[in-house]
Amino acid sequence: MTVIAPPAARVQQPTTRSGGRGGSIMWMALPALLVFGAFGVIPLIGVLALSFTTWDGIGTIQPSGLASWGAALGDPALPHALLVTFEIMALSWLVQTPLSILIGVFIAARTRYRSVLAVLYFIPLLLSSTAISITYKALLDPNFGIGTGLGLDILNQDWLGEPRLAMGVLVFVVSWQFIPFHSLIYQGAVRQIPSSLYEASQIDGAGRLRQFFSITLPQLKYTIITSSTLMVVGSLTFFDLIYVLTAGGPGDATRALALEMYQTGFMANLMGPASVIAVILVLVGLLLAQLLRRLSGRGDESQLEGM
Amino acid sequence: MATVDPHAPRRITPAGRVSRLNWLGGAFGWLWLLVVMVPIYWIVITSFKTQSSYFVTNTFAPPSDPTFDNYKLVIENDFVRYFLNSVVVSVGAVVPAVVISFMAAYAIVRRAGNRWLRFVNTLFLMGLAIPLQAVIIPVYLIIIRLRMYDTLLAIILPSMAFAIPLSVLVLSNFIRDVPRELFESMRMDGATEWGTLWRLAFPLTRPALVTVTIYNALGIWNGFLLPLVLTQSPEQRTMPLALWTFQGQFGINVPAIAASVTLTTIPIVLLYAIGRRQLLSGLTAGFGK
């Protein structure tokens, strides 16, 4: 699933600090803390620690200083995986954002047929990446797939056998899976835009297109940033989808960072270098989230202009 | 409201232009529906075709003689076991995760001034940014050391852990909205915090609890990485992993693959049909309320 970006800190309301009856309730937080500590916090520290060791996944773990870092950073597969990851990230953002906004606006209208369409639009949200990938893999079969079915020769391509095409297919499948989620976010945001803005602009003689560009889009600014953060950070973790659809192929054309980590760790049994890749994955994610947050900080003052 | 000139026409834009844009929007909407539905339509009709007819008939034509053989084949290949494994993992992870998140959220809201609980809350918020993929190697190591490798518990525990941060966030936002006077009157009546948790906070946050439960259950039901890394034997397979192995096993028997995909998807689609609203609100849980 998608990774949820940390939301802005909420203002804490001071609650009664009355001791009184009931006394300490701190123990209530303990079970959650223990489980999350054991399988969330400790692994996060663990992955950093493991990046300074050599381990084949079965035998003993040997501390080895910077050897794993040297091995991982010296491997040309790493910059390639980073490049592929950023390519998937950029392309899928470019495809998903405009479409999600359009669909979000489309289904924000409270007409009956659009609500029915919306119900159907959201179906991909329910399916596992595995099911989706397997479906597309079969559907895009060069001999018996979509090309033959529609009788269009242009669709009879070796979709997953050509590096450029495979990347295109991957971006398409990602978009097919995640556009529903983002249009759901946009739908909610569009419905919160005060209708007085539209009424006022109508009196000023603005057409629909004008309204979209001068009201809807600016009002969605923060939603666009939230949705983009989720898209960008989420794309770092694409694993199931790529693993099942292309397995990183053809060659290494779609071998993104998470897959590279899995292959290094669990296929080549190099857990040290794989941990290095995992650490890089976390760092890139935090960096991107921070960058997007910085981006959203600018131009706040114009947010409420015209209200 | 500004006063409107009564002589101004209601719609200033020419009516023709408005309807043309609407028409464009409509066309776009139907086109997108096609994009969404074509693969789904295709997988369903293919699952009813025989293997021999699949290769000779048009891919998009419905089967001339629908057959249930593919479903039989999938069910004979231990499908029920994988299904039950997925149920055990999903229920076994989500129910305890939501309960302990609820307890933690209650403590965090009720003792907002407590430094220790504030630290715990910050930890959970940071946890939202940790992707499961990035910590899978140490999780694997911990599971091996706990001698839980290749058990369903190995999938359940990390799934629980990764469900906690968002659950605590959403639930604490809701508990915070419970009027403080209600807590006060419970205290006056001599209720313990434990009693207040279950008799006051629980019923008042029920919608949020349902939402969080559904959101987490969907993610765990569809999870692939944890079963892939933490289990090995066919007896412990959950459905996404089973799907993937079916794909290898059935090879070019595309209708059988289609049947397995359709079967794994039916339970969620049924749930969607029943609880659509809860499900959709669950999916955007965490972005305000």
pLDDT tens, position by position, A216-229: 888 888 889 888 98
Please name the member of A7, A184, A281 whose beta carbon is closest to the beta carbon of B131.
Answer: A281
So what's the pLDDT on residue A14?
Answer: 43
**Domain membership of residue A96 as a residue range:** 91-254
Whether A153 is covered by a domain: the verdict is: yes
CA A276, distance to chain mean position in Å, is 21
Q: Between residues 110 and 169 of chain B, which touch chain A (CB distance below 8 Å)?
A: 110-114, 116-118, 120, 123-142, 157-158, 160-162, 164-166, 168-169
Condensed to tens digits (0 to 9), the pLDDT of residues A255-296 reads 999 999 999 999 999 999 999 999 999 999 888 888 887 877
Given B28, B35, B161, which is nearest A40 (Cβ)? B161
Q: Is A290 a member of any domain?
A: no
CA pair distance A180, A96, nearest whole angstrom: 10
More confident site: B283 or A7: B283
Q: What is the CATH number of the domain that holds A171?
A: 1.10.3720.10
The interface predicted TM-score of the complex, written ipTM, equals: 0.83
Residue A219 in domain: yes
Split at pLDDT 50, 70, 90, the class of B286 is low
pLDDT on residue A226? 85
Structure tokens, A95: 């495809």
pLDDT per position as a tens digit, B162-211 = 999 999 998 998 888 888 888 888 888 888 888 888 888 898 888 888 88
**pLDDT on residue A18:** 43
Instruction: Establish if A145 belongs to a structural domain.
Output: yes
Low-confidence ranges of chain A (pLDDT < 70): 1-23, 144-145, 147-154, 297-307
Examine residue A31 and state whether it is found in any structural domain, yes or no: no
Selection from A286, A274, A186, A304 nearest residue A236 by Cα:
A286
Would you tell me the crossing angle of helices A163-191 and B276-283 to the nearest 10 degrees? Answer: 110
pLDDT in tens, B74-116: 888 888 999 999 999 999 999 999 999 999 999 999 888 888 8
Asked if residue A163 is part of any domain, the answer here is yes
Dihedral in degrees, nearest 10, Cα atoms A76, A79, A83, A88: 90
pLDDT for B278: 73
Largest CA distance in chain A: 78
Closest approach of chain B CAs to the CA of A84, in angstroms?
Answer: 17
**pLDDT for A173:** 95
Q: What is the Cα B220 distance to its own chain's centre?
A: 7
Domain assignment present for residue A243? The answer is yes
Residue A282 lies in a domain: no
B1 has pLDDT over 80: no
pLDDT in tens, B20-32: 567 788 888 899 9
The number of domains in chain A is: 1
Which of helix, strand or coil describes residue A1?
Answer: coil
